[in-house]
Chain A
């Protein structure tokens, strides 16, 4: 019975399709083509499109699967490589920065007429009241006490005793007991730059109230102390007020950033006192 129903259904379907095809063969579309032809083309084009889509999908899926098989290893490898490159980049940055500093030092060295020696800061002072640093040059390199130490930004300080064979200590200009002969570059008003507590850490003393000193004026070494080379920048006037006595109250912002010193130049020209001592000997 079921078989009969099935056969009846197939027969009905076959007859209907046959007659639909018969009708389609006689009817034309608005474009003039046969409906049968148009429908056949449409159906086959859909089938082709579907088949192509399936093939493409399968190929893409397979390709992606194959591509994904090694992605874990690739990912790990790439992560390692990125890590290495980041480290290398940091090193390159460090080198570039170092090169810049060295270039600046070299430029300074070129500018300087005196004989200088490049030195690296190897330590600071753990005692904040004594503002000194240690450099990797000593008597073996010709470094003696009271030699001036400079940096691209200006004067750093002077070598203080004792001087080691391959290292020496530098008293920074901002130390409370440090001092340097200074003049205001614009007006040539002279005085003494001394270290001070507070911010800014430099003060200019012994400048007459009559002197013309304004904020922003450059203060340079006068050279009268026999240590620091004349004309080298000490800093800029930050505040200049008329003092109670004879002298003005002047604060100076140092030209050197003492908090980030890494490379310095030691002026190998012996200080005048040392020369005199040598001559007296």
Chain B
């Protein structure tokens, strides 16, 4: 079940991310769904799942982006591992800590991504803090929504189902 969730989350996020290529801010994409999925999986399942998901998602993203394969994977592996470790050490079940984790993870990921590209001579190291902040906040909000949907979604659906069954019974009797 866990494996299915992980694969589904990664596949879905990569597929969705590729369809959102046009949504950009300051040259960077305004949302990184793969990163959100990685952080979500790391917070939910721990550092091992986090880093594996980060590696797979990052490599997939790199392959599709056409750049140097491995840099995205490296960044997301590190982020997944760190978030997983922190998630296993601290209670990150409320909204604010989760939002902070998403924002921090986005900052770390973007800075590392730019730094590694600069290191291999791909492009100069010019971090766009404003753009990164926007992306971090968007990622944070999106991540909170994901958590809410995943955690509250089944419960709400069941409640709705229960309510509809109750109304049917009243009609019968």
Give which listed residue, A8, A15, A26, contacts B68 with CB less than 8 A: A26
Q: List residues 1-39 of chain A with CB under 8 A from any CB of chain B.
A: 8, 11-12, 15-16, 19-20, 22-23, 26-27, 30, 35
Q: Say whether B1 faces chain A, with CB atoms less than 8 Å apart.
A: no
Q: How far is the CA of A8 from the CA of B52 in the complex (A)?
A: 11
**CB pair A23 B51 closer than 8 Å:** no
- Interface core residue of B59, B74, B122 (most chain A CB under 10 Å): B74
Q: Chain B residues with Cβ under 8 A from A15's Cβ?
A: 51-52, 55, 77
**CB pair B68 A27 closer than 8 Å:** yes
Given known pairs A19-B77, A22-B69, A23-B70, the reply for A12 and B121 (CB within 8 Å) is no
Give which listed residue, A8, A19, A26, contacts B47 with CB less than 8 A: A8
Q: How far is the CA of A30 from the CA of B71 in the complex (A)?
A: 19
Q: Chain A residues with Cβ under 8 A from B48's Cβ?
A: 8, 11
Q: CB-defined interface of A96-128 with B at 8 Å, one 1/0 digit per residue?
A: 000000000000000000000000000000000
Q: List residues 79-132 of chain B with CB under 8 A from any CB of chain A.
A: 81, 116, 120-122
Helix, strand, loop or mixed for chain A's interface?
A: helix
Q: Say whether B143 faces chain A, with CB atoms less than 8 Å apart.
A: no
**CB pair B74 A35 closer than 8 Å:** no
Q: How far is the CA of A222 from the CA of B32 in the complex (A)?
A: 131
Number of B residues whose C-beta is below 8 Å from A? 19
Given known pairs A8-B48, A11-B48, A16-B74, the reply for A26 and B55 (CB within 8 Å) is no
Q: List residues 33-82 of chain B with CB under 8 A from any CB of chain A.
A: 47-48, 51-52, 55, 59, 68-71, 73-74, 77-78, 81
Q: Chain B residues with Cβ under 8 A from A16's Cβ?
A: 74, 77-78
**CB pair B120 A23 closer than 8 Å:** yes
Given known pairs A12-B47, A15-B55, the reply for A26 and B78 (CB within 8 Å) is no
**CB pair A22 B51 closer than 8 Å:** no
Helix, strand, loop or mixed for chain B's interface?
A: helix
Q: How far is the CA of A9 from the CA of B40 in the complex (A)?
A: 20
Give the size range of A's interface with the partner: 10 to 19
Q: Chain A residues with Cβ under 8 A from B121's Cβ?
A: 27, 30
Q: Chain A residues with Cβ under 8 A from B116's Cβ?
A: 23
Q: Chain B residues with Cβ under 8 A from A30's Cβ?
A: 121
Q: How far is the CA of A19 from the CA of B56 in the complex (A)?
A: 11
Nearest B residue (CB) for A11? B48
Q: How far is the CA of A35 from the CA of B119 in the complex (A)?
A: 11
Q: How far is the CA of A11 from the CA of B68 in the complex (A)?
A: 23
Given known pairs A12-B81, A19-B77, A35-B120, the reply for A26 and B70 (CB within 8 Å) is yes
Q: Chain B residues with Cβ under 8 A from A11's Cβ?
A: 48, 51
Q: Chain B residues with Cβ under 8 A from A12's Cβ?
A: 47, 51, 77, 81
Closest chain B CB from A66 CB (angstroms): 50
Q: Chain A residues with Cβ under 8 A from B71's Cβ?
A: 23
- Interface core residue of B47, B48, B70, B122 (most chain A CB under 10 Å): B70
Q: How far is the CA of A160 from the CA of B120 in the complex (A)?
A: 111
- Interface core residue of A12, A23, A26, A27 (most chain B CB under 10 Å): A12
Q: Chain A residues with Cβ under 8 A from B81's Cβ?
A: 12
Closest chain B CB from A22 CB (angstroms): 4
Q: How far is the CA of A205 from the CA of B50 in the complex (A)?
A: 127
**CB pair B77 A22 closer than 8 Å:** no
Q: How far is the CA of A12 from the CA of B79 in the complex (A)?
A: 11
Closest chain B CB from A3 CB (angstroms): 13
- Interface core residue of B73, B116, B122 (most chain A CB under 10 Å): B73
Q: Chain B residues with Cβ under 8 A from A8's Cβ?
A: 47-48
Q: Chain A residues with Cβ under 8 A from B70's Cβ?
A: 19-20, 22-23, 26
Binding site for B on A (CB under 8 A): 8, 11-12, 15-16, 19-20, 22-23, 26-27, 30, 35
* The 4 A-B residue pairs with the shortest CB-CB distance in the complex, in nearest-first order: A22-B70, A23-B70, A27-B120, A19-B74
9 A-B residue pairings within 8 Å (CB atoms): A12-B81, A19-B59, A19-B74, A19-B77, A23-B70, A23-B74, A23-B120, A27-B120, A27-B121
